[in-house]
Structure 1
Amino acid sequence: MAINYYSALTQVVLVGFVCFLCPGMFNAVSGLGGGGQLDTTAANNASTALYSTFIVFGVAGGGIVNLCGVRWTIFVSGFTYALYSASYIFLNHHPRDPSFTIASGALLGAGAGVLWAAQGLIMTSYSREEEKGRFIAIFWTIFNLGGVLGGILPFAINYNSDKDSLSDGVYIAFVVLECLGACMGLTLAPPAKVKRLDGTSVVLAESTSPAREAVEIVKLFLNPTMLALLPMCFTSNFFYTYQFNRINAGLFNIRTRGFNNIFYWGSQMVGSCLISLLLDTPRFKRKVRGFLAFAVVFVFFNSIWGGSLALHNKYPQGIEPGSRIDFKESSKASGAIVLYVLCGASDALFQSLAYWIIASLTRDNQKLSRYVGFYKGIQSLGSTVAWQLDIKVSPLTQLITNWALFGGSVIPMLWVIWSIKDHEEAAVKADDAELSEKDALTDVSVNA
């Protein structure tokens, strides 16, 4: 069967491969803990700089994408990932000068904010109602192949190495792949030409302007639904710091960190596919599907943090660099590796549900771009705080903070799910009515 280049599914697959090669490789480096370095301080400060600029460009990213389109924004943004990976080559040779890595992190935050807004527009607005979970799962699976590949590279290259930091060769491989991903951004079709399977166009909104985008972005912070989702957004990447630095980098040697990431990101693929079956099932109404998926996330997350507490109690003082666990030490490694892999699955469950909730709020692609930008911006605010906490507080305090933040997001998420309309037809009427409103500040309802 011939592939339709302008189909919504093809475009989701293409943006999935862009993120496979750019954010996927970045995740692989981050997942090693400390950016693949023995001393995590430089990576922590670079991550703080990254997520500080990501806050601004994440929130503003939806407006930038609406004005500039998806192709060139992704193309330009993709190269900031390559620059960041290249900065660790410099750090390998100048370990006392982290300035280039920190500056590259700040630039990457700007690029990533725009790239993820473009990705979010494609993933959430190109699907039909019955495809939302499937499109999220397809993207998440392809994207996390990058993390799997990024785990294989350091595992294979450093298999016989006794170093605790990545070699230049691994970082060079990441740079080449990320440059390829940036160039793939130009293969995306303009949204105006993309069609869904039923023949409908994905472009449902009017033209926009910088002034209008600025107003619409400000209005996000006056929207009760977006405010209710603030805890969900804030905590959605907060846990990465603890999992990457305190579990993976804190307990395991460098080759085992790569080995672990193969399965961490692989479990993300499995988790996103499984929850998509629940989110798209025609057996239940939309609201019921949301509640059932939330119940899965709730049980999974509490189990993960309970297991993390047990692991912490086993190694309350951590493990010295020279004696960190190798994957061949099955009696010591198996339990911690299984927990780390399940952490990856829990992340996929949470992120898939979050995107599904956002995709259920409106059919307007410009609004979805702004909503995803808001999600990524507030998510980055949480990450900024988390990376600095890693420097300043104990592992146990980090663990308790993560668990408490998830608990604080429960009630607001349930309220938003309860507010979601059950039928796509209701969304069409609500969006049409909203476009005719002159006073946009009254837009506080949740539209399906």
Structure 2
Amino acid sequence: MSTEHPAVHPDADMKETTRVETDLGAVDGGEVGARPRGWRHHQIKAGPVNLAWYASPPFQLVLVSFVCFLCPGMFNALSGLGGGGQTDPTLADKMNIGLYSTFAVFAFFGGGFVNYCGVRLTLALGGIGYCIYALSLLLSVHYSVGGFNITAGVLLGFCAGLLWTAQGTIMISYPAEKDKGKYFGIFWAIFNLGAVIGSLIPLGESIHSKENKTVSDGTYIAFIVLMFFGSLLALLACNGRDVIRKDGSRVVLMKHPTVVSEIIGMWETFTYQPMVVLLFPMFWSSNWFITYQANSVNGAYFTTRTKALNNLLYYLAQIVGALAFGYAMDIQYFKRSLRAKISLVFLFALTMIVWGGGYAFAKGYTRADVNKDLHPDHQFMDWSTSGYVGPMFLYIFYGLYDAVWQASVYWYMGALSNSGRRSANYVGFYKGIQSAGAAVMWSLDSHKMPYLSEFASNWGLLGGSLIVAAPIIWLKISDHVSVEDDLHNTDETLADVLPQGHPEKTVV
């Protein structure tokens, strides 16, 4: 069905206004619009089945998901072993302090890079840092290259800030309102499948060993190669201006931003929705617990092959959690405002249950107990050890919890706005604050903070941040965000959001 309209007479002001207001309803799902010509917008068919075109939100989502599958997905598989795959986590802690400190700064301005350089180039540049990080860990096994290690961590902080801001902007601004939970679920499943596959590499290398040792050179080389291909894959992505939804509408992207305009945009975000600061503790907490889970549980307590198995199960649980929770958040039977309230209650209950179980495990050992220098005869837990099933299920639920937490944060941000400009600012705040929290936690771990204290900080921050976020989730997430509200106090116009080919684009 065509979206062509008869030309509007320039003097017919009332008629133009009426037509714009009528056509706004198509932005999130009205008539199917005529797409531009060219291979990017040609319908892909698999036999009798019509698939999405190349420059469509679903196709681009899957493509970007596989970039993250190969870059941060593999990084998570390596980091999840504790200590970046090494028995002593001190070096990885220092690298991660540099990583997340840099990430915290560049994530705030990542939206400017995304909208100025485009999604494709930003993702490709972001992917490069991951393979250099893994290369530095490989070199550190054989040589003293501390300076290069720290530099690699700082470089990855810059690159990750670019990659994740581009990914977050896509996740929030590409889908229609009714699909945002599903998009997160699909992305998170594919992304974490990378960590699942990545976990198979050290698992296969150490399948017959019951020792706790540094992973092999082959493991590091495999990660380096896969991460490099992820960076190349990003070059196949489309920029936002080329992406067309099913209804013919384009995503809303900021035009030609500068660092100054990005700072102004952040201020505009506060003035548009000042209560967004209530989500900041959730942002801060969202990577705080990763250090404890990777280093203080998996890295400290288990043999190498068991750490790899735990990693695999952790990220499989993330896939299940992301898909289940993501699709549940888009159930149209309930109003979106009600779904937001239900999710908050569910998340608080899950926090108490999962971390309550974690307390029973955390109080059972200390740093001294698992220190081989102090206790040379200490035996790390293996999957063949009696009593492994309990800790295994705890780690599975830690993975499930991580996915549900991240899905909730992305969904709450997406529910507050459909604007690409504002979405970039929200994601910048999210990744910046998240990374600042992670940098602090990696620093605390490097200074040998007691395991039980690390655990307590996690449980307290997670539960407390939900209480702080309750007012904005309860009061400010509405059933629909109108285009007029989204364009308020930004430099975007109706011409940026109306479907391609509409004559109103020339008169707005």
Do they fold alike, i.e. is TM over 0.5? Answer: yes
Residue in structure 1 matched with residue 320 of structure 2 by the alignment: 270
Equivalent of 1:24 in 73, 76, 80: 73
What corresponds to 1:403 in structure 2? Answer: 459
Structure 1 position 230 matched with structure 2 position 286: no
Matched residue, 2:159: 111
**Rounded Cα–Cα distance in structure 2 between residues aligned with 1:365 and 1:225:** 19
Q: 1:337 aligns with which of 389, 392, 397?
A: 392
Q: Distance in 2 between matches of 1:286 and 1:384?
A: 34
Matching residue's letter, 1:102: I
Among candidates 96, 108, 117, match of residue 59 of structure 1: 108
The residue that corresponds to 2:334 in the other structure is 284
- Looking at CA atoms only, which structure, 1 or 2, has the larger radius of gyration? 2
Specify the alignment match of 1:380 in structure 2: 435
* Offset at residue 403 of structure 1 (A): 1.1
Q: Which residue of 1 aligns with 2:357?
A: 307
Any conservation in 2 of the 1:61–1:114 contact (CA below 8 Å)? yes
Matched, 1:422 2:466: no
Match for residue 424 of structure 2 among 340, 363, 369: 369
Which residue number corresponds to residue 443 of structure 1?
Answer: none
Per-residue deviation, residues 340-372 of structure 1 (Å, max 9, x unmatched): 111000000000000001111111112111211
Aligned to 2:119: 70
Post-superposition CA distance 1:296-320 (Å, at most 9, x none) = 2211122222112101222245434
Query: Once the 2 structures are TM-superposed, how far is the Cα of residue 220 of structure 1 from its aligned partner?
Result: 5.0
Q: Is the 8 A contact 2:212 2:302 kept in 1?
A: no
Displacement after TM superposition at 1:113 (Å): 0.6
SS of the equivalent of 1:239 reads: helix
Query: RMSD of the alignment, in Å?
Result: 1.9
User: Is the counterpart of residue 203 in structure 1 residue 252 in structure 2?
Assistant: yes
Amino acid at match of 2:141: N
Unaligned runs of 5+ in 1: 439-448
Q: Which amino acid aligns with 2:175?
A: S
Q: Deviations over 1:89-109 (max 9, x none)?
A: 111102x54332221011100
Normalising to structure 2: TM-score of the pair? 0.82
TM-superposition CA deviations, 1:72-93 (whole Å, max 9, x none): 1111110100000011111110
Whether the 8 Å contact between 2:69 and 2:194 is mirrored in structure 1 is: yes
Letter in 2 for 1:100: F
Contact 1:421 1:427 survives alignment (8 Å)? no
C-alpha displacement of 1:206: 4.7
Query: Is 1:248 aligned to residue 263 of structure 2?
Result: no
Corresponding residue for residue 370 of structure 2: 319
Residues 109-148 of structure 1: pairs in structure 2 closer than 5 A: 109-148=157-196
Task: After superposing the two structures, state which structure 1 stretch, 414-423 or 173-182, moved more.
Answer: 414-423
Partner amino acid for 1:121?
T
User: Residues of 1 paired with 2:468 and 2:491: CA distance?
Assistant: 29
Deviation at 1:47, TM superposition (A): 0.5
Q: 1:35 — aligned with what?
A: 84
The yes-or-no answer on 1:359 pairing with 2:410 is: no
Q: Is the 8 A contact 2:72 2:130 kept in 1?
A: yes
Runs of 4+ deviating beyond 6 Å: none
Partner residue of 2:203 out of 135, 147, 155: 155
Encode CA deviations 1:115-162: one digit per residue, 9 max, x unaligned: 100000111111111101000000000000011011111000122344
| Aligned equivalents of 1:93, 1:171: Cα separation in 2 | 12
Q: Tell me if structure 2 keeps the 8 A contact 1:54–1:109.
A: yes
Q: 1:213 aligns with which of 262, 271, 277?
A: 262
Cross-structure match for 2:139: 90
Q: 1:229 aligns to what SS in structure 2?
A: helix
What amino acid does structure 2 have at the position aligned with 1:257?
K
User: What SS is found at the alignment partner of 1:160?
Assistant: coil
Q: Contact 2:268 / 2:489 at 8 angstroms: preserved in 1?
A: no
User: Which amino acid letter does the alignment assign opposite residue 450 of structure 2?
Assistant: S
Aligned 8 A contact 2:69 2:192 in 1: yes
Which amino acid in the other structure matches residue 414 of structure 1?
Answer: A
Q: TM-score, normalised by structure 1?
A: 0.93
TM-fit CA distance, 1:277: 2.6
SS for the counterpart of 2:297 is helix
Over the matched positions of the two proteins, sequence identity in percent amounts to 40
| Distance in 2 of aligned mates of 1:116 and 1:437 | 23
The whole-number CA distance in structure 2 between the counterparts of 1:386 and 1:250 is 16
